[in-house]
A and B are shown apart, each in its own frame.
Chain A
Amino acid sequence: MRNVWLIWRKEMRSYFVSPVAYVLIVVCALFFGFFFWSLLQAYLQFSMEAQMRGEAFPMNMPEEISRRLFGNVPVTGLFIVPLITMRLFAEEKRNGTIELLTTSPIRDGEVILGKWLASLTMYCCLLFLTVISIGFLFLYSHPDWKPLLVAYLGLFLQAAGLLAIGTFMSSLTKNQIIAGALTFCVCLLIFVCGWVGEYNSETWARVSAYISVSTHMESFMRGTLDLKDAIYYVTLIFFGLFLTARSMESLRWRS
Chain B
Amino acid sequence: MITVKELTKRYARNTAVDHISFEIEKGQIVGFLGPNGAGKTTTMRMLTCFLPPTAGSATVAGFDVLEEPMEVKKRIGYLPEAPPLYPEMLTGEYLSFVGSLKGLRGAELKQRVDYVSERCSVADVRNKQLGKLSKGYRQRVGLAQAIIHNPEVLILDEPTSGLDPKQINETRDLIKSLAGDHTIILSTHILSEVEQICQQVIIISKGKLVATDTVDNLQSRSRGAESVFVEVAGRNGQIDAAAVQARIAKVAGVNRIVLKEKQLTFSKFEVETQKDHFVRGDLARAIVEGGWDLNEMHSAAVSLEEIFLQLTGTQEAAPKVEAVVTGASK
Q: Chain A interface (Cβ within 8 Å of chain B)?
A: 3, 6, 10, 13-14, 17-18, 95-107, 252-253, 255
Contact = CB atoms under 8 A, between A and B. Distances in A.
Contacts of A106: 101
Given A95-B87, A104-B102, A105-B102, A252 B73 contact: no
Contact of A105 (B50, B51, B74, B84): B74
B84 A95 contact: yes
B48 interface: yes
A95 B73 contact: no
Given A96-B80, A97-B85, A252 B98 contact: no
A252 B84 CA distance: 17
Contacts, number: 61
Contact of A14 (B50, B82, B88, B102): B88
Interface string B48-73: 11111000000000000000001001
Given A14-B88, A95-B85, A95-B87, A103 B100 contact: no
Given A3-B101, A6-B101, A103-B73, A96 B84 contact: yes
A99 B145 CA distance: 13
B32 interface: no
B82 A103 contact: no
A76 B70 CA distance: 42
Given A18-B88, A99-B50, A252-B50, A105 B73 contact: yes
A99 B52 CA distance: 13
7 shortest interchain CB distances as A-B pairs: A100-B84, A105-B73, A97-B84, A104-B101, A103-B48, A105-B74, A96-B82
A223 B102 CA distance: 46
B51 A100 contact: no
Given A6-B101, A95-B86, A105-B103, A252 B51 contact: yes
17 contacts: A6-B101, A10-B86, A14-B88, A95-B84, A95-B85, A98-B84, A99-B78, A99-B84, A100-B78, A103-B76, A104-B73, A104-B101, A105-B73, A105-B74, A105-B101, A105-B103, A255-B51
Given A10-B97, A100-B98, A103-B78, 20 more contacts: A3-B101, A6-B97, A13-B89, A14-B86, A17-B88, A18-B88, A95-B87, A96-B80, A96-B84, A99-B80, A99-B84, A100-B84, A100-B101, A103-B49, A103-B76, A104-B101, A104-B102, A105-B70, A105-B101, A105-B103
B52 A252 contact: yes
Contacts of B102: 104-105
Interface residues of B, number: 26
Interface of B: 48-52, 70, 73-74, 76, 78, 80, 82-89, 97-98, 100-103, 145
Contacts of A98: 84
A6 B76 CA distance: 20
Given A6-B97, A252-B51, A100 B103 contact: no
Contacts of A18: 88
B36 to A, nearest CB: 18
A98 B49 CA distance: 13
Contacts of B82: 96
A14 B76 CA distance: 27
A62 to B, nearest CB: 42
A220 B203 CA distance: 65
A233 to B, nearest CB: 31
Contacts of A6: 97, 100-101
B135 to A, nearest CB: 15
B132 to A, nearest CB: 13
Contact of B145 (A100, A102, A252, A255): A100
A14 B48 CA distance: 27
A187 to B, nearest CB: 27
Q: Which of A10, A96, A97, A105 has the most CB of B within 10 A?
A: A105
Contacts of B100: 6
A253 B97 contact: no
Nearest to A97: B84
Contacts of B84: 95-100
Q: Which of B49, B52, B76, B101 has the most CB of A within 10 A?
A: B101
B72 to A, nearest CB: 9
A90 to B, nearest CB: 14
B42 to A, nearest CB: 10
A96 B142 CA distance: 12
B50 A102 contact: yes
A96 B76 CA distance: 18
A13 B89 CA distance: 9
Nearest to A18: B88
Nearest to A104: B101
Contacts of B85: 95, 97
A147 B11 CA distance: 56
Contacts of A103: 48-50, 73, 76, 78
A222 to B, nearest CB: 43
Contacts of B74: 105
